[in-house]
Every structure is written in C-alpha cells, then in structure tokens.
Amino acid sequence: MLAALMFWGLCPLSFLYGLIMRLRSKLYLAGLKSSYRAAVPVISVGNIAVGGTGKTPMADFLARYLAGRGFCCAIVSRGYGGSYRQDVGKVIAAGGIVSMSPAECGDEPYLLATRNPGLPVYIARQRMLGVQAAERDGAQVILLDDGFQHQAVQRDLDIVLLDAQRPFGNGRILPTGILREPVSALQRADLIVMTRSGSVEGEHPSFDAPVVHSHHQPDSMLRTMQGAVAPESDYAGKSCLAFAGIAKPEDFFQSLRSFGFSHIEEVPLADHQEFSQDVLNHLFRSCLNYDLLITSEKDAVKLELVNFPKPCYKLGVNLVFDDISPLDDLLEEVLVKCR
C-alpha cells in the first residue's frame, strides 16, 4: 500500500521531468539553445535508461576499432564518481603510470585509459570544454562517453545502447521508472545497440534506426590486480569470494562459472561502490574461509594498492556483436570526413 502511494505521489514529478526533457530537446532542434560543432567527427555512446547497458565496453570497443584503423582518437567523459572539479582534466596511461587516480577521474575513465595506453581521456563536467581540449591536442575522432542527453555538443554519430532484457523498464520516466528521456527520444539515434541479446528469446522492439545485437563476453583468463595473466593452476578447483560493484553484478557472477571454481560465494555491491575501510574490512573477514577473491575489472581499478589477505584476481569483459556490418557502414561514413 505504501509503495503504491509513493509511486502515484511521484508520478507528477515524472510527468514534469519528461516535459522538461522534451522541451529541452526541441529547443536544441530549433537552434534556440546553442550547441558546439567540433571540427572533427564526434561519436556519442549513450543510453536512455539509468543503470548499466554496456557504455564503457562499447566506448572501449570503438577506441580499439579506431586505433586499429590508424586514427588518433580521444574520449571525453563526465568523470562520474570522481572528485575532479576543474574545467578539464586529462587521463592517460603510459609506461605503466596513469596520470590521474580512479578517485580523481572516476573508475570508468580510469579503466578506459588503462585498457588503451596512450589514448587520452578528458574529464569535463561541460563536455564542450573536453571536446575543445581534445581538438587542440590533435584528436582526429572524439568519443563522447554517456553523451546522448548532452546535446550541447553536436555529434556525427549517435549510438544508443539498450539492455535487451529490459530496454525500457516499466516504460516510465524518472523517478517512477528507469528512463532518462521518453522513448520518442530514440528518434535522434543513428544506431541502436541491443546488449545482452543472447539471453533474450522472442522478438526485440523495432526501431527506425539500424539495430545491432550484442552480448557481454568475459575474458577467457583471469588476471592479477597488477594485470598479469593468472595460470589456471592458481584458481581451478578452488573456492572464491566474488564481489562486484557494478550495475548488474549477477551477470558477473554468472560469468565465473566457467572457470572451474569448487565454490563461489557471491557478494553484490552498489554500482560505483566506494571501498571504504569498513567495506574492505568486511571483505577481509569474509574471504578468510576461501582460497581467493575475484572482482570485476571496473572495481579492480580502485583496489590496486589494497593488500588483501588472500590472492585477489580480476576479470574483464568485452562487447561482442552478432553482425557488426551496420556499425561498420555508419563508422565508414563518419571516418570519411577525417581523410
């Protein structure tokens, strides 16, 4: 009864929030709100729902794709969860040293930098300032991380990710639902990427934009917290305490079942979990009855200096596409502008 009263009480806020987002989008479309046009192509990776849809693996895929084609790429991120408050910060990994800590820049920008050594990741609350900094530094292509709602920067390709298991939740806008914008906002998208498609049976929603289906594929190996590949003898047949502070920790726990552990104790944590001393002490106590610990690559960036009482390993994840040709075609149209 109380939950129902709270839901209906919040409905006017959802209506108002949706109205504001629609009006804001129309103002940009009409040119009544200014937006910055970069001199180089800008590719946005975003979503319309809160929660993890795979934006970081998608940005990582695009960074590797562009580097493989010989393009000088940069990523611009808000730096969610980080303490950096100046106009623009630059995160870059080189020679095993990262220019900012995860606490400063946020765990996702730090992870993107470490997975792509030499690629600059700009932290900017105002994305336009980050884009301008990347341009000055010679970027040929700019990836706008979590940029779908940030229309103050014009983009050449708008990629929107949706979780195939629950693309729109209950169909309602915040705070009574999970949507950041009305579903009609997808009319701005150039490409829809359905993530976690492999576990969904039946038909997917239809869209005006081309659709690519994908799934999250864990790495085939575990790594130490310092990045070295762990030999199978380190973990096969052993018990582990698994913990993850990501949007969908159950997916992470599921992916561990192929590594031959004798037992897995699952500890789900909040997304972007802060590892306070209290949280660490709980993990220290809990792991004593297990042979090892394992966590997600995203959590591991915040734990590199922690001295766990048992060996601790990390597992990364990649985005794998069923048919990448629609994405290839759109990227080719964008990259032609770089030549």
Please report the pLDDT score of residue 6 as a whole number: 66
pLDDT band at 319 (very low <50, low <70, confident <90, very high): very high
- 228 shares its domain with 201: no
Q: Are residues 248 and 181 in the same domain?
A: no
Q: Which CATH number is 52's domain given?
A: 3.40.50.300
241 plus 260 within the same structural domain: yes
One domain for residues 93 and 165: yes
- Residue 202 confidence (pLDDT) above 60: no
Residue 164, Cβ density class (10 Å: 0-12 exposed, 13-18 middle, ≥19 buried) = buried
Q: Which domain holds residue 54?
A: 35-216+320-338
Domain co-membership, 131 together with 228: no
CA distances in angstroms from 300 to 148, 211, 264, 336, listed in the order given: 27, 32, 18, 38
Q: Is residue 1 part of a domain?
A: no
User: Is the pLDDT reported for residue 71 higher than 80?
Assistant: yes
Total number of residues shown for the chain: 339
Asked if residue 233 and residue 138 are part of one domain, the reply reads: no
Residue 85 within a domain: yes
Instruction: Identify the band that residue 199 occupies on the pLDDT scale cut at 50, 70 and 90.
Output: low
Q: Does residue 5 have a pLDDT over 70?
A: no
Domain-located, residue 15: no
| 199 and 54 within one domain | yes
90-115 pLDDT, tens digit per residue, is 999 987 789 999 999 999 999 999 99
Mark whether 293 and 176 lie in a shared domain. no
pLDDT for the residue numbered 146: 93
CATH of the domain at 253: 3.40.50
Looking at the domain assignment, is residue 6 inside a domain? no
